[in-house]
Amino acid sequence: MTLDNKLGLTDSLELAKMEEKISKTRAKELFEEQLLDDKAAGTYATLAFIHGFLFEEIYDFAGQIRTVNLSKGNFRFAPVMYLASSLENIDRMPHQTFEQIVEKYLELNIAHPFREGNGRSMRLWLDHLLKAELGEVVDWSHVDKEDYLLATKRSAVSTGELKYLLLNNLTDDLTQTRFFKGITYTRQGSCKIQVKVMIIFCR
């Protein structure tokens, strides 16, 4: 089932293509116009701003906390009834060191605050935070996509694999090109939206 969208698209593959095209264009604008320069690093408010900016031309829910329960495989993300309080707790987590930053990033991933586009938004949020605190960003061009997705999935049990993967691909080259690469790692596979007893499959 295709998500309701402002583009009027009913084919999920076509929507995915337009999502990628538009979100990349918007991410480019985000950095060219330096729209993150005055945003507080490591906050949900900044993540919501990023998500809203990337997807406002596609979805009405861009930048807004989700109102449905979400799961992928056997893993359920934070329930809607606890989502707001979870995000408040995550906001209070420290983020001065690499370890703290990745822990915070992973907690956000477990929360999965948006209906769609979490991964793309959070990777840009992560680089914004790494840049602010450590003067480095992830060189996503050197991160194998499958390794990253698998490490993220396993992080619910152990965070070591993802920390190792990211740590070994940090760079102090803060050029826009490298900072922009995180947007290309769209999440693959199915996710499920759970509303009471009804389950809707989404990309």
* Residue 189 pLDDT exceeds 80: no
Kindly report the pTM of this predicted structure: 0.88
Q: What angle do CA 70, 121, 158 make, to 5 degrees?
A: 65
CB 55 within 8 A of CB 82: no
Are residues 72 and 192 in contact, defined by beta-carbon separation less than 8 angstroms?
yes
For residue 72, the 8-state DSSP code is E
In terms of Cβ atoms closer than 10 Å to its own Cβ (0-12, 13-18, 19+), residue 198 is: exposed
pLDDT at 171 over 70: yes
pLDDT digit string (tens) for 125-157?
999 999 999 999 999 989 998 999 899 888 888
The residue extents of the domains of the chain are 12-202
Specify whether domain 12-202 bears CATH 1.10.3290.10: yes
Confidence at residue 199, expressed as pLDDT on a 0 to 100 scale: 29
Mean confidence (pLDDT) of the chain: 88
Is the pLDDT score of 190 beyond 80?
Answer: no
- Does position 200 have pLDDT exceeding 60, yes or no? no
Q: Give the pLDDT of residue 175.
A: 77
pLDDT of residue 181: 67
